[in-house]
Copies of this chain bind each other. A is one copy, B any other.
Amino acid sequence: MTYVLYYWSGIPGRGEFVRLALEDAGIDYTDIAQTRGGDEKMLAALKANSKTPPFAPPYLKAGALTIGQTANILLFLGERHGLAPKSHAGCLWVNQLQLTIADLVAEVHEAHHPVAASLYYEDQKPEAARRTQNLREARLPKYLGYFDDVLAGSGTGWLAGRRLSYADLSLFHVIEGLRYAFALTMRRLEKRYRELGPLHDRVARRPRIAAYIASGRRLPFNEDGLFRHYPELDS
């Protein structure tokens, strides 16, 4: 089956959660964002007649299927490519974790765009400052404390079961993104939630993830994406 990933070029964004799964599973895929005119192709395919039209990128074409919503794409890939437990209960648990990661990621995005995603950050700076204070002091500790507890509870080094799942790959990316966006905050929080750093390092050492990072194909974080470094929002 041929896989084609459609996402915006130039940012890791939500597409990166899908890329990490494809890379770790060693799946051959075309990344439209890395091709000429990628954004135009992505937008054209978004509007093309599909029986299961996506609301927004990322979406994955897998043979005749068009699959939208990040967590839904990962549910599909996880089951097919050994990135989720074999049991139905295990798949539900990984999906639950992934949806909680999606909630965290949405809140991180809201922090620099509390008024409207369609406005520039510069047009909502006072609101962003208030919101991000709440993110740093209340929401990030709550989410990171939760994942720290889950890791400590599983005792295997992975969030769910004895093997890595796509939720571990996503949490790895979240940790990288938060370190980029909120370096000072994360230095403090990682001292309190001590399972996060080791999970990050275990994922980074996976041969295919290490090769992906070394390849130069992994897009750097920047101020157009989900995880943005605005020094005035970190402390």
B-contacting residues of A (Cβ < 8 Å)? 51-55, 65, 67-69, 71-72, 75-76, 89, 92-93, 95-96, 99-100, 103, 106, 110, 114-116, 118-119, 127, 130-131, 134, 138, 143, 146, 149-150, 153
Chain B residues in 8 Å Cβ range of A138: 116, 118
| Contacting pair A69 B149 (CB below 8 A) | no
| Contacting pair B131 A96 (CB below 8 A) | no
| Contacting pair B52 A96 (CB below 8 A) | yes
| Contacting pair A92 B65 (CB below 8 A) | yes
Q: How far is the CA of A131 from the CA of B76 in the complex (A)?
A: 34
| Contacting pair A89 B118 (CB below 8 A) | no
Closest residue of chain B to A116, judged by CB?
Answer: B134
| Contacting pair A131 B150 (CB below 8 A) | no
Chain B residues in 8 Å Cβ range of A149: 53
| Contacting pair A55 B93 (CB below 8 A) | no
| Contacting pair B134 A114 (CB below 8 A) | no
| Contacting pair A116 B95 (CB below 8 A) | no
Partner pick for A72 among B96, B110, B114, B143, CB 8 A cutoff: B96
Chain B residues in 8 Å Cβ range of A96: 52, 54, 67-69, 72
CB distance from A25 to the nearest CB of B (A): 18
CB distance from A161 to the nearest CB of B (A): 10
Closest residue of chain B to A65, judged by CB?
Answer: B89
Q: List 28 A-B contacts (CB under 8 A).
A: A51-B93, A52-B89, A52-B92, A52-B93, A52-B96, A53-B153, A55-B103, A55-B143, A65-B89, A65-B92, A67-B92, A69-B96, A71-B99, A72-B95, A72-B96, A72-B99, A75-B92, A106-B106, A110-B114, A114-B127, A114-B131, A115-B130, A115-B131, A116-B130, A116-B131, A118-B134, A119-B134, A127-B127
| Contacting pair B153 A51 (CB below 8 A) | yes
The 9 closest A-B pairs by CB, nearest first: A116-B134, A69-B99, A114-B114, A52-B93, A55-B100, A69-B96, A72-B96, A115-B130, A68-B96
| Contacting pair B110 A69 (CB below 8 A) | no
Q: How far is the CA of A55 from the CA of B2 in the complex (A)?
A: 36
Q: How far is the CA of A67 from the CA of B95 in the complex (A)?
A: 10
Q: How far is the CA of A106 from the CA of B116 in the complex (A)?
A: 13
